Structure 1
Amino acid sequence: MPGDDDFELWLGRIGAKDRSVGQTLARARRAGGVASASGRRFTGAAIGRGAGVGRVLGVSQRMSGLRARRAVVKARIVKLGGKGMAAAAHLRYLQRDGTTREGERGALYGADVDRADGKAFLERGQGDRHQFRFIVAPEDGAEYEDLKPLVRRLMSQAEKDLGTRLDWVAVDHFNTGHPHSHVMLRGVDEKAKDLVITRDYLTQGLRSRAEELVSLDLGPRSTQEIMAAQDREIGQERFTGIDRRLLREANGDRQLMVRTNDPREHALRVGRLRTLERLGLASEGKAGQWTLDPELEPTLRRMGQRGDIIRTLNHALREAGIARPPQDHALFDSRDPAAIPIIGRLVATGLSDEHRDRRYMIIDGIDGRSHYADIGEDQSVYAKGTILRLSPRPADIRTVDRTVAAIASEYDGKYSVDIHLRHDPAMSEGGAQAHVRRLEAMRRSIGRPERLADGTWQVGPDHLADALAHEQRQGLKTPVIIETLSHRSLEQLPAHDGETWLDRQLTAATPEPLQRGFGAEVRAALQQRRQWLVEQQLAEGEEGATRYRRNMLQLLQRRELDRVIASIEQDTGLAHRQPHGDTPVEGLYRRAVQVGDKRYALIEHAQEFSLVPWRPVLERAIGKSVSGVMRGEGISWTIGTRTRGLGIS
């Protein structure tokens, strides 16, 4: 019979804001999870294929002992979206030149073929929700003449462990001191359903399987190999296995006594503690008691990374034939509040983390120092010798965010282009669309704000805090702003018949200060450029001083633009039409055209073409009809039949 404690389960109406089970689970996770009857919390770690195998292999790996061959397997799950351009870029980079033992291009292979078709692999993966990426690195990888058989046996074993066929491709790299393989695995099973692999198998199972195979191939490690590896750890300036054992035995105050019945282990620990003492990370007290620094592990890991950076920097400079003393090496830390922009020529680029597609740049600066800069996940391509400015990316709330928050506060938390134009009649539709693009970027990044079915945005009261969180997240992905100052190398600039970075330096009210090294080379190039400008009657030299024509930069720009226009007319047979004022610019967007250090968009219409300012977002419209009206330095575009409102300047 019904009682006072009866209740009705109400699932909520369709379309309600709080309808998501995912939102409820997220709140539970933020509250610390939900404990089961056994007292254990549900974490989701056991969801997916390979749960039991992963746990068993994890235990066996911990009990395998010192003689087992070691291997590193790094696993990453990458969410795919759009056209899979990031996956294509990653695959291209893995197959770059110089990764084989012979210095040739990396060869993509699969389970049954030595030459796999990367394009076909990406096409098969169109529509996949996610993708797995692995790095397989046996400690004794140099002993293998070819890593393909090892990787194929590993992936074959993974198919048995997971109970499904796997679609994968791999590339072997021998361009570092540790040969390794990159594996890209589609995130679907043999029935084309999402492939979910349990965390235990990704973090422990694959590594254990790799170590089993390497131990079978090369046999267990000999006593001499084990001792040599341990001896190398004593003096290394990085976090080692000995450090890990010391931390395990230290008490809560990071104090320990070196007590072991194994004379060799005792010698290893004491030797390592002496090294840590020299580094200021350990101190010896009375009666043989040692105290470890609370920041021992993160400090040693940073030291290891710095050592890798120094080696990378030295190698890049040596390859470029640039001699710079070690004291002129610098690490550009964009997170440092005191960091200032650096200007210089690009010496080299590469992957600082091949697993996460994080990249670095080596910049030979005008300040006389050679800089290593982490540029995050920036996938842009820059030619060596290009002159760049790198600046820390500020994590600030933008004016566009404040505008959206202000408008939404007056319209019940709603924002749309129509609402914006109603609120501010002076705003152009293109300007309002820029606000929408900002909201869309935030939604993809942090999941807020919510876009309703009619295209209106539901903006929360914490919108400014959300905007700051989005900026901070973007700062982690791309921590620096990269500005191209000159597409041409310094050697090409003194006699170039067009506007150059040197000209802008010569006419600047406060030119960039030049020090030694590359700065001295720029100083010499500036002198050569002054002489060339005088010869071209664009400047006059009087009593050691140089006077430049007032419109010198515009004249140089016009010279180069006229040459480019003439070249396009000759190649295409089209006539150039100069856009003016309120005259519409209409036609097909063909391509970007480089004119000096600026880019223009080539718009073709009938038997004519126009060159107008370009922005990267226009690349989405290659071959499509576009139309816009020049308004000063900007254009409000319509692409196809949908108004984009692209602000081009």
Structure 2
Amino acid sequence: MSTIIPFEDDDSFEIALKGRKKGISGTGKAGTRKSFLKTMMRLVDANKSSNVRKQSGRNSFISDTPRNAQRVVVKARVVKNSGPFSKGSIRNHVSYISRDAVKNHNEVSPIIYSETGITTKENLEETVREFESDRHHFRFIISPENAHDLNLTEYTKALVKQMELDLDTKLTFIAVNHYNTDNLHVHLIVRGVDDSGKNLVIKRDYISNGFRFRASQIATKTLGLRTEREIRNGITSEVKKTRFTQIDRDLLAKIKVEKCIDLRKPIENGFSEFKRNVQIQRLRFLKTMQLSREIKPGIWKLNEECEKTLRELGLRNDIIKTMHEQLKNERITEHIIFDPADSHQRNITGVVIEKGLSNELYDEKYLIVSATDNRAYYVPLSKYSETPAFEARPGSIVTVSVKRGESQQRIADENILEIASRNNGIYNRELHLKSINTHRLPQGVTPENYVENHLKRIEALEKRGVVERAENGWSVPENLKEKIIGIAHESGGKNNFVQVKLESMQDMHHQKVANAPTWLDREMSEGRLPRPDALQSSFCSEMDRAKSERLQKLHAMGLAEKTHDCIRIKPDYHEHLYKRQMEQAAKDLSSRFGKPARINPGETFSGACKGIHHLPSGPHVIVKRGNEFVIVPHQRGMERMNQIRLEMPRTQDTQYPELKFASLDTSKERDLGR
């Protein structure tokens, strides 16, 4: 493996060219090494003359990567630690990038490291807390083309060291090497605070260009310049790819300058002529896809939707590959992408086979669901798809449906309309801030965060022509809701999103033996009994076996009876199982929350919400008062309440009823924050 040093002003090093022994030191022809060193020294001199160190990445960075330098793909993002969806963001991201699945095949655990050296997931807690307290942090995904030839840990440390020199500050970071894909890469998270405790601000051109230049520079210093053959092979490999490529990017750049692509004249320069021929080959391939056309011999035009189509095809290819990898042991022939924009998309119910990130930089998630219709679905999730604390996991049973886009915005729209109605049809930030009751805000949300989200919404409505900018705010029409619904219909479903309902956190193995009501019980009580002779997917076959075993379990418990041709569940099965579940839950939770309270018919119990507990029958909320507690079925919004008042219905005399809510400390969800 290679040993890497930061790219400083030290010229006392040797570099092995690719194909020879890897590392900073190596052997080779003296003339070749001298030639390469001269090239690299010119880069150093160029950087000195451009005053990179003094200007720093915070201010500016402009430098071109040589054509034969090592290629490194860098993706970067600045993440603010504020807003309703930011809570736990950095913690969840660190947890995901450091999961066991990313480790190298010969490693016991993932390679996690920071400025203090190699560390473990357990030792990251203090660092993560520091990140959470900052205004923002930076995320990078670094993918060298020849990552297999690099010691990724040493490479990343050298890159961070160079970044510190450019930014003129020490950096706190977390890095994890990922070996679980064909393209080895590193996740790097940099704290948004400099060594003086101030917010670290890095200019866009350094993040966009300078960091990538440094990544390529250090890889080149370690592995040597790419050969002409490697460069040409890399370019020609993209000619027939059904995704957006660097060749396409170059073609689009030509169009911006010349309005069309003129490739008639041969070019004397050898490499430029090679690129011209490659571009002609690519255009001919795109023509077979109806994405380009030759308007005159040698003169081409691209379809206006060319880039969009190629990016969508690339994404689709990635999805198909992911589904094949995750479903290789499933007896499913039909793989479908769940599309919320499709007006004919039906709801599906099934088991979660896999949950992952489709975009690791932006934490965009997906599910793969094996459904009861014997099909497998790729389900893209938005930030609205799952309810916090009710997120699905592999093995969970879920129902996936389409939610109309305008429904998600209705709460903010009603708030905007109400503020405007009190101010002659004008909405503005100051009025909204004054009207907020901080005791009714969702936990962890400040008034400024809350209003900021409304401002984003009204600015989006302004772009669509629904509201108009006024001198001191926005003019809001009285028929705001109708206008929004009209736009949603015109959009053809583009604003729709996926909604995931968690039917059961338990997998079927645990459900079939549970001493509690389960999703399987609910399915069978509604008439969906096992069909052992049907030709089905692995999931459906497993589900039917689980139903059959569950029926036998219920029969042994006295909650189902045999007839001449089947076993039938007794009508009162749920009441008996629910009582057993709650008795066991009270015992399990008493060591943490105190004594289970007994509430008689007609009595009330008021207490603080202490969290959500997922039981086999569904989610329940723990309400605690002093040294007593009760467990009640969850209702939407309960987890955000500081105090909950419960009332035992007079018609029930059991110890474990499904309690009726007398009141919450918030009247309606849409009033949150007012």
Q: Same fold (TM over 0.5)?
A: yes
Amino acid paired to 2:110: G
2:586 is equivalent to residue 585 of structure 1:
no
> Which string of whole-angstrom CA distances, capped at 9 and with x for unpartnered residues, describes residues 565-604 of structure 1?
35556x5796533435653324565554333232223334
Whole-Å separation in 1 of the counterparts to 2:330 and 2:232:
39
TM-score computed with the length of structure 1 as normaliser: 0.73
Whole-Å separation in 2 of the counterparts to 1:297 and 1:109:
38
Alpha-carbon distance change, 183 to 646 in structure 1, aligned in 2, over 3 angstroms: farther
Task: Check conservation: 1:366, 1:516, Cα contact below 8 A.
Answer: no
Alpha-carbon distance change, 500 to 191 in structure 1, aligned in 2, over 3 angstroms: same
TM-score computed with the length of structure 2 as normaliser: 0.71
> Which string of whole-angstrom CA distances, capped at 9 and with x for unpartnered residues, describes residues 401-444 of structure 1?
676567656654799xxxxxxxxxxxxx999889x999987524
Amino acid paired to 1:635: F
> 1:516 — aligned with what?
536
Q: 1:271 aligns with which of 264, 281, 284?
A: 281
> 2:645 — aligned with what?
628
> 2:395 — aligned with what?
385
Q: 2:237 aligns with which of 229, 232, 235?
A: 232
| Matched residue SS, 2:325 | helix
| Matched residue SS, 2:355 | strand
Alpha-carbon distance change, 250 to 594 in structure 1, aligned in 2, over 3 angstroms: closer
> 2:195 — aligned with what?
190
2:502 is equivalent to residue 484 of structure 1:
yes
> 1:314 — aligned with what?
324
| Matched residue SS, 1:268 | helix
Q: 1:343 aligns with which of 341, 346, 349?
A: 349
Whole-Å separation in 1 of the counterparts to 2:661 and 2:358:
39
Task: Check conservation: 1:282, 1:292, Cα contact below 8 A.
Answer: yes
Whole-Å separation in 2 of the counterparts to 1:619 and 1:587:
12
Q: 1:610 aligns with which of 630, 640, 653?
A: 630
> Which string of whole-angstrom CA distances, capped at 9 and with x for unpartnered residues, describes residues 128-155 of structure 1?
22111112221211111x2222222222
> Which string of whole-angstrom CA distances, capped at 9 and with x for unpartnered residues, describes residues 243-283 of structure 1?
23333445877565454335643542343234323333334
| Matched residue SS, 1:98 | helix
Q: 2:113 aligns with which of 109, 114, 118?
A: 109
Which stretch shifts more, 204-213 or 485-494?
A: 485-494
Q: 1:363 aligns with which of 363, 369, 377?
A: 369
Whole-Å separation in 1 of the counterparts to 2:606 and 2:411:
29
Gaps of at least 5 residues in structure 1 are: 1-47, 416-428, 451-457
Task: Check conservation: 2:135, 2:192, Cα contact below 8 A.
Answer: yes
Amino acid paired to 1:550: P
> 1:499 — aligned with what?
517
Task: Check conservation: 2:604, 2:648, Cα contact below 8 A.
Answer: no
Whole-Å separation in 2 of the counterparts to 1:92 and 1:478:
29
Matches within 5 A, 1:453-602: 461=476, 479-508=497-526, 516-517=536-537, 518-530=539-551, 532-533=553-554, 536-540=557-561, 544=565, 548-568=569-589, 575-579=595-599, 583-587=603-607, 589-602=609-622
> 2:77 — aligned with what?
76
Gaps of at least 5 residues in structure 2 are: 1-54, 428-436, 459-472, 650-658, 670-674
Alpha-carbon distance change, 560 to 110 in structure 1, aligned in 2, over 3 angstroms: closer
Number of aligned residues: 558
RMSD: 4.4
Whole-Å separation in 1 of the counterparts to 2:184 and 2:119:
19
> 1:300 — aligned with what?
310
Whole-Å separation in 1 of the counterparts to 2:528 and 2:330:
28
Whole-Å separation in 2 of the counterparts to 1:430 and 1:585:
25
Q: CA deviation at 1:159?
A: 2.4
Alpha-carbon distance change, 476 to 348 in structure 1, aligned in 2, over 3 angstroms: farther
Whole-Å separation in 2 of the counterparts to 1:334 and 1:101:
37
Task: Check conservation: 1:635, 1:646, Cα contact below 8 A.
Answer: no
> 2:9 — aligned with what?
none
Whole-Å separation in 2 of the counterparts to 1:573 and 1:497:
22
Q: CA deviation at 1:79?
A: 0.8
Q: CA deviation at 1:173?
A: 1.6
2:447 is equivalent to residue 447 of structure 1:
no
Which stretch shifts more, 437-446 or 86-95?
A: 437-446
> 2:42 — aligned with what?
none
Of all paired residues, the percent bearing the same amino acid is 25
Alpha-carbon distance change, 111 to 465 in structure 1, aligned in 2, over 3 angstroms: farther
Amino acid paired to 1:212: Q
Amino acid paired to 1:370: A
Whole-Å separation in 1 of the counterparts to 2:623 and 2:634:
11
